[in-house]
Amino acid sequence: MLPNLWAATQGYWRKLDDLEASYHKGEVSIDQVNAKVAELMAELGEERRATWAYLLNNWSHLWSEQREAIVGTALMGIIAYAWVVS
């Protein structure tokens, strides 16, 4: 399953906006704000780590399955670039 980092980041910012609004209304203290921000950052950090782990795992799998195709395509690109530049 693909972790949805974009949605997690949007949720993070939405929660921060709600927290800021609550702070300006006087509903929460600065200590509560600091604690909640640390909690939200930890949640977003987990999602980022999950996304990186997913991407690295997929890249590793693709590399092990298609190594020759990837190297061949890269070499063809380098040769084509050198031909166009020269």
Q: Where are the beta strands (DSSP E) in the chain?
A: none
Place of tokens 């209304």: 25
State residue 81's pLDDT score: 97
State residue 51's pLDDT score: 93
pTM beyond 0.75: no
> pLDDT confidence of 1, banded at 50, 70, 90?
low
Tens of pLDDT, residues 13-64: 999 999 999 999 999 999 999 999 999 999 999 999 999 999 999 999 999 9
State residue 60's pLDDT score: 97
> pLDDT confidence of 4, banded at 50, 70, 90?
confident
